Amino acid sequence: MTFPISYLLFFFTLLTGTLLSISSTSWFGAWLGLELNLLSFIPLITTKLCPFLSEAAIKYFLVQALASTILIMSSSMYMYTPEISYSLILISLMIKLGAAPVHFWFPQVIEGLSWPQAFILLTIQKVAPMFLISYLTFTPTLTSMIIFMALFSSVVGALGGLNVMKLRKLMAFSSINHMSWMLIAMSLNDIMWLVYFLFYCFTSGSVIILLYTTHTYTLSNILNQNNKSMILSLLIPMNLLSLGGLPPFLGFIPKWIMIQLFSSKMMIFILLILLISSLITLYFYLQMFIPMILLSFSSFSSAMKSAPLFPYSSALLASSFLNLFGILSPIPFLI
């Protein structure tokens, strides 16, 4: 998919809205940045006249407008009921983030997007709401609400991805599950959730580059690849297992950091729920590529003779290489 040069302006204003929300000293300024971010993302969705893109844009606009309305209304209630005001602000930010139990819009919207748009929604669009949520961890009530929504997100993200054949929807439930780790880390340490988020952006980006390069949108597309190659059969498991957090891949590092953090705080029950949900997410990652490997054993020899060794972009190969060997570089994180 090609994008007009004018869309660089909308992408720049999207980043500007995110920075404005993060650096604002008032909730009105944060709301203004979120609105600028919203109005910049809508043109990036509607890159061409397509019913799926139009439907996704309308759904995204309505949900985000609802969350913005709750945010500006609750911030105006601060002088009368501060606790209710902060609770409503937290709920509105969770709606913008797409965390459970207000996640209903997230898989439906991402299902109608292309892979580059889905990457923006999975990563950049989450930065401002998560920073604003991290500012709301100053009372036990708000912290308890964040932890409850995080645990709910881990369960929903794990169970919602079962028996899903569309890969964009699967990535949405995977994002909801990863969000639970970041939200609980947010209630403990401001740096750890940011480290987890950066690792998540890289691992999900490597998966999306792979799926976008091969024009893969459903599980059947993976199984019915016309130009099967040995390198493709290796890249798909490598990137997906890294996103699932399986050692020795790069995606295991942030989860190992979180395991150490939760263990030091004696949050054993919460850690158990997160680990069980992660095992379930690994199951639906495995169901994506195990049939492909089993069906492609007979074609490996012919594919290696006919297909070039590196038919894919250098960005894809570099990200996959780092996913495999990245655990060797940040040794200090594991100490």
Which is more confidently placed, 290 or 114? Answer: 114
Tokens at 137, concatenated: 């961890």
Give residue 300's pLDDT. 46
Report DSSP letters for 294-313, one per residue: HHHTTTHHHHHHHS-S--S-
**Dihedral over alpha carbons 183, 172, 103, 113 (to 10 degrees):** 130
Q: Decide if pLDDT at 120 tops 70.
A: yes
Query: ∠ at Cα 61 (214, 175), nearest 5°?
Result: 45
Q: Decide if pLDDT at 298 tops 60.
A: no
Tens digits of per-residue pLDDT, 16-41?
999 999 998 888 899 999 999 999 99
Tokens at 135, concatenated: 């500012």
**Separation of alpha carbons 161 and 305, rounded Å:** 36
The packing angle between helices 268-296 and 252-264, to 10°, is 160
Rounded mean pLDDT of the chain? 82
Residue range 167-191: mean pLDDT, rounded:
89
Domains of the chain by residue range: 7-334
Tens digits of per-residue pLDDT, 155-177?
999 998 888 888 888 899 999 99
The closest of 210, 178, 184, 169 to 197, measured between CA atoms, is 178
Other CB atoms within a 10 A radius of the CB of residue 226 amount to: 4
Res. 308 pLDDT band, cuts 50 70 90: very low
Q: Cβ distance 328 to 251 under 8 Å?
A: no
Which is more confidently placed, 236 or 178? Answer: 178
Sign of CA dihedral 11, 112, 125, 17: positive
Residue 31 burial by CB count (10 A; 0-12/13-18/19+): exposed, middle or buried?
buried
Q: Decide if pLDDT at 295 tops 70.
A: no
Residues in the chain: 335
The closest of 99, 75, 101, 316 to 209, measured between CA atoms, is 316
Q: Decide if pLDDT at 309 tops 50.
A: no
Q: Decide if pLDDT at 333 tops 80.
A: no
Tokens at 211, concatenated: 């799926």
- Which element (helix H / strand E) includes 99? none
